[in-house]
Structures are given as C-alpha cells and as structure tokens.
Amino acid sequence: MKNGGRIEAAIQVLDDVMNRHQPVKSAMRDWGKRARYAGAKDRAWVSGLVLDALRHRNSLAYAMQSEAPRVLVIGALRHVWDWDLKDIESALKDEHAPAALTGEEREGLLLAPDPSAPPHVRGDFPEWLTPHLTRVFGEDTVIETQEMSVRAPVDLRINTLKADPEKAGKAVKTAGGKPSELLVNGYHIPAPDPSQRETSLQSIPAYSKGWVEVQDAGSQIAAAAGNAKPGDSVLDYCAGGGGKTLALAAMMEGKGQVFAYDIDGRRLSALIPRLKRSGAHNVQLCHPKEPEALEALTGKMDLVFVDAPCTGTGTWRRKPDTKWRLKESALAKRNEEQAMILDKASEFVKPGGRLLYATCSFLAEEDEDQVTAFLERNDAFRQLDAVQSVIESGQLTDAGIDIVRRNQIPGGAVRLTPRKAGTDGFFFAVLEKKA
C-alpha cells in the first residue's frame, strides 16, 4: 500500500474507534478482514498512526480545531510523526488517498504547541480527571501525563524455572532485547518507530520454549514486592491472565504452592496453556464455580496478592483508546469493588502473613485511599515498608532499588510512572496481619 491508502485506512479505523466505540484491536481486525491485500508492514503502520492519534487526541484536536478522525490522523502525521507539510500533501495525491488538505487543516498543521492550553489539552487526558491527577502529581501533572502518551517498550521476564538470564538473553537479543536496568531477571526491548512493526515475540524460540514471558517492568516489580519464598503458600486472588501467578511461582523455585483465583473462570482457563509452557508445577487453579476450594484456604496463606481491577490509567501508553472511554462513574464503581475485594482477600491471610495490594493505576482514590480505608476497617493489619519487601526479594538491580526508593510515598507504598520509572503506571502496598 502507498502512504495515501494507509492514511485513508487509519481514518476508517479511527472512525470505528471513536464513533462506533470499538476497541482498537477489534477495529484493526475488522479492517484487516476488509483489506486482505494489506501486508504486515501496512497493518503496523496503520495501527501505529491510529494509536498515536488517540494518545494525542486532545492536543491534536486543539491545534487542528476539530476532533474528526480525518483531522486527528492528518494532525498526528505532522505533530507526532513529524512529517513535513509537503510530504503530507504528496501522500494525499496517491491513489486511494483521502481528499487534499483544506485551508483550515493546513493552518492547523503549521501551528506550534500552545503553552497556554489547558492541562488536559497539553497532557492529553480527559478533562474531568484534572483534579484527580493534580492531587497526585501537582505541578508535574502535564509532564507526567505527556510521558503517558508515548509508545511503550516491551519488557520480558526471564522464566528462571526453565532458563537463566544469560541463556535466555542470547535468544532475546535477536529481537533487540537488552538486559533490564531495573530487574535481575528482566530484558527490555525499546519501543520502535511508531510506523514500524514490533518484533513478534511468538516467533522467537525462547518464547515458545517458555524461557521468557512478556510482563511490564512495573508489574514485575510489584510481584517482587510480594517477596514470595520457596515453600510459601500464596494466593493470587485476582489472577486474570496469570502474569503475576507465573512470576510468583518462579520466585518460589517451584516449591510451595500458588493458588490462582479469579472471579472470571474464562480468564483462568486461558492461564492453563501458559502454565504448561512455563513449567510451573506448583500452581493450582481455584475456579469460581468451585468455591469450596477457595474457602478451604481461609486463614492459611503466607501471602495473598491482590492485583485489583481498576481504571487502568497506568496502561494508557499501551491502550490509549481506554482513557477516552473512562467515565467518573467507572471510577466510583471500581472503588466499591476494590474495597470489597480487599476485605474478602484479607480473610485468607494467616497471622504473620502478608497482603499485597496493587493496581495498574496512578489515581490516589484507587491506591493509597483504599489502603488507608482498609486499615481503618481492619485493625488486625499494619502497613509494611514496600521498598524493603522489594529489596529482600533479590529481584531488582541496584538501579531498580534506587528507582523504587525514589518513588515511595508516605505510608510505605510505592507508585511508579512512565516518567519516573520508565514502567507502566503501577501502585503497590504491603500489609501484614498481626500475629
């Protein structure tokens, strides 16, 4: 495909996302079915442009004076991909390209960013979130949120049940991987140019052999804060896709027991092939249709890990369409769910055991507010130093320990952000049940 056709395709996909409320993956899949002629590079190019238009939706609409999908896509070429105006005009002359630029569009493409624009414009986030973000980041709100609008890297966790970092690392290097600066058993693949196709990790033998797992560095650090030891009894209460389940099982060297539970049994079923590939034999699934298996664990766990359902604000780099679908009512609903989940999960912690609460969110209402409210309701628990728990796990490099220390907040919890840690947005707190 020529660039003009790719631009037209991006407009169609973005229209499906914005006006038909489709997730980007679904919209791209549907377009791909209609465009069988499009190759892998074409799909990557179109997807990259759509995602960047969404990442910068507010600032592009402000500069271009329109939120129409066509205008956002063309604006992204200039203001995000740094195309020259002449290159854009040339592409729009291609066969199957959209119509030529209007005078208003050309004017918007020539404008420089306006430093006087409102914070939600410069930071590209929903306006209603302004007080929530300002509460957490203060004067740094725009800087922090701008870093949430860039393309995210790929982080890998070396599965130490099957390979060591040196052995797996040799294979990962073929995909551009480099040792993580933060994690002893991690590798990092920098984000490619937005118009380029990401490396398919599934095609790397190390992946199919179970030597590596895709897991954001922030998620790996949160798992490390659990400080699970060989022989422990651990409950991953909101296991989901199982990323932290597998990380905890590896930290325990296959000894002890990890129980994976999720209210959605379908998600647990999806974990089964991952378990087989990873070689984690110390994991048992607790299906929601068999509640007696979960209830038998009451008061017996050394560690209960709660990666609570949340607004997902910390994943905006990877899922920019979700930030524009987020509503204030959804935040309130999540807050109610988080409180109930914390109360229920705490029942499984034995005296002297630990409860780790984590979210992929940077909103205080989902993070420290939940921890504070829980401790007020449950005087049997006390908050521990999460940084010390991470250090004791032995999973972080010296640089990683320094990053975690610098991102500790009052009370002992840790909040990571793309700007300050280079990870997705993540929060975690460690609580102990008094003996």
417: phi then psi, degrees, rounded to nearest 5: -135, 160
360 is catalytic: yes
Q: For 15-35, b where at least 16 C-beta lie within 10 A, e where not — what string?
A: bbbbeeebebeebbeebbeeb
> Is residue 180 a contact partner of residue 399, using CB atoms and an 8 Å limit?
no
- Cα–Cα dist 336/316, whole Å: 22
- Closest by CA position to 237, among listed 355, 115, 377: 355
- Cα–Cα dist 141/138, whole Å: 6
Which DSSP letter does residue 38 get? -
236 conformational bin, left if phi > 0, alpha if psi -120 to 50, beta if neither = beta
* Number of residues in the chain: 435
Per annotation, catalytic residue among 238, 286, 310, 360: 360
* Residue 17 exposure: Cα atoms within 13 Å on the Cβ side: 34
Distances (CA, A) of 322 to 9, 217, 223, 349: 21, 21, 24, 34
- Name the residue type at position 243: G
> Is residue 97 a contact partner of residue 77, using CB atoms and an 8 Å limit?
no
> Is residue 261 a contact partner of residue 239, using CB atoms and an 8 Å limit?
yes
Give me the active site residues, please. Answer: 360
